[in-house]
């Protein structure tokens, strides 16, 4: 049967609408298909069973719990780290952030040191494209599933104190060789929150012979040798009034030489009184 002019016009209109609807459905399906497999830790996984993460930038926050932080120290560290993790430039979307704490308890176990992250999450996006994403939901997810847990864990770690010993060198060695930090990814950054006063039997800044040369000569340097190649180091240096005699230029020089020798690059040394 031959189609009339109106029929043909109708078919054209229906065809155009059909194409638009198909394009819309295809776009939604495409967006669904293109979304990565995300785990509960916000990280992107290579497989649907969430067994292997997609390589990404990694940031390790290491908090020294050997001595209590003053309110100023705590506030500064919290603010610094929050600014760091909230900034897309310093911590890109989907990059990993792991929070470790260390104290004498870390090394008290008979079998092996107990260094486990107290928070291990990836950074979700804080905003999305309004055309095909729910911006509000994404922002909420950013706070709910990332910023709040990270802040909470950080706050907790900064308020806990397990005194006496400060095994900084041992912990740095553990971190640099830890299986928790996988290779083959992007940038690796270490944020160290500490007074940087090493105090263990092997080496202590509280003793007389506490220069870097003394450390190297002591042979302990070989025992705690770390590998920080490809790492960027940020140190939040907590200055203590009580130990002002020890936290002088020579002390800072000690750590700069230490990180240099272990292959790391100090990108920021933020001191706080």
Partner 1 sequence: MQQLVETARRALDVQQKAADAGVHDNPKTTSNSLDANESEVCAYFVGLARQRKESCEVALGRLQHDRRATAARIDIEQTKDSFARLLSAIEPNLEKLRSDHATRLTQAKENETRALKHLRWFQQRNGLQHRAAAYPESQLYHFAIVAALALVEWVSLSTFYAEGSDFGLLGGVLIAMTLSLVNLSLAILSGNLLRYVNHRSVRRKMLALGAVAFLTVCFLLVTLGAAHYRVATNDIAQAQPTVSAPSGTQIPPRFSADVDPWRAAKLAWQRLAANPFGFEDVFSWILVVLALIFGIFAAYKGYTVDDAYPGYGELDRELKARRTAYETAKAEYCRLVDQVFDRTLQEQAHLLSEVKSNIEYYQQLISTTEEQRRTFGREAAELQDACNVVIKGYRQANVRTRKSPAPMYFKESVSFESYLVRPPAGVSESEERLSRFYESAMKSFSDIARQNNTTVQNLRTAEIRRRDFYFTKLEREIKEKLAREEWELKG
Interface ranges with partner 1 (CB under 8 A):
3-4, 6-7, 9-14, 17, 20-21, 24-25, 27-28, 31-32, 75, 78-79, 82-83, 86, 128-137, 139-140, 143-144, 147-148, 151
Residue 107 in contact with residue 170, Cβ under 8 Å? yes
H helices present in the chain, as ranges: 5-34, 71-86, 135-142, 148-159, 168-176, 212-217, 220-223, 249-261
CB of 103 vs partner 1, minimal distance in Å: 24
242 vs 246: CA distance, rounded Å: 9
Select 109 or 129, whichever has its Cβ closest to partner 1.
129
Nearest CA-CA partner of 269 in 238, 245, 228: 238
244 vs 16: CA distance, rounded Å: 77
CB of 206 vs partner 1, minimal distance in Å: 32
Select 132 or 206, whichever has its Cβ closest to partner 1.
132
CB of 39 vs partner 1, minimal distance in Å: 18
Alpha-carbon torsion 219, 221, 223, 225, what sign? negative
Select 32 or 51, whichever has its Cβ closest to partner 1.
32
CB of 147 vs partner 1, minimal distance in Å: 5
Select 135 or 248, whichever has its Cβ closest to partner 1.
135
Nearest CA-CA partner of 69 in 60, 79, 59: 79
Nearest CA-CA partner of 154 in 118, 195, 181, 116: 118
Token pair 């459905």: residue:
25
Select 118 or 204, whichever has its Cβ closest to partner 1.
118
189, β-bridge pairs = 59, 232
Residue 232 in contact with residue 84, Cβ under 8 Å? no
CB of 21 vs partner 1, minimal distance in Å: 7
Select 29 or 250, whichever has its Cβ closest to partner 1.
29
Structure tokens at 155: 């706050």
CB of 69 vs partner 1, minimal distance in Å: 13
CB of 92 vs partner 1, minimal distance in Å: 16
Select 154 or 174, whichever has its Cβ closest to partner 1.
154
188, β-bridge pairs = 58, 231
Task: Give Cα 140 distance to the centre of its chain.
Answer: 20
């Amino acid at each position: 049967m031959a189609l009339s002019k109106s029929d043909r016009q109708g078919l054209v209109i229906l065809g155009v609408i059909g194409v638009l609807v198909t394009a819309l459905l295809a776009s939604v399906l495409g967006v669904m298909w293109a979304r990565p497999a995300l785990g509960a830790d916000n990280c992107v996984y290579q497989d649907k069973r969430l067994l292997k993460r997609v390589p990404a930038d990694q940031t390790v926050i290491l908090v020294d719990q050997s001595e209590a932080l003053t309110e100023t120290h705590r506030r500064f560290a919290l603010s610094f780290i929050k600014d760091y993790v909230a900034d897309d430039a310093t911590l890109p979307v989907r990059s990993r952030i792991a929070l470790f704490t260390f104290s004498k308890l870390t090394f008290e176990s008979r079998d092996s040191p107990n260094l486990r992250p107290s928070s291990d999450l990836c950074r979700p996006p804080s905003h999305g494209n309004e055309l095909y994403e729910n911006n509000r939901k994404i922002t909420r997810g950013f706070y709910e599933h990332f910023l709040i847990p990270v802040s909470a864990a950080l706050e907790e770690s900064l308020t806990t104190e397990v005194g006496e010993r400060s095994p900084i060198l041992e912990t740095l060695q553990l971190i640099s060789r830890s299986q928790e930090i996988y290779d083959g990814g992007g940038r690796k950054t270490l944020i160290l929150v500490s007074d940087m006063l090493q105090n263990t039997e092997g080496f202590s800044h509280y003793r007389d012979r506490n220069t870097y040369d003394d450390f190297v000569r002591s042979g302990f340097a070989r025992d705690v040798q770390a590998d920080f190649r490809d790492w960027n180091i940020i140190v939040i240096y907590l200055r203590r009034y009580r130990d002002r005699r020890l936290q002088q230029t020579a002390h800072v020089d000690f750590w700069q030489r230490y990180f240099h020798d272990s292959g790391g690059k100090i990108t920021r040394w933020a001191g706080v009184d």
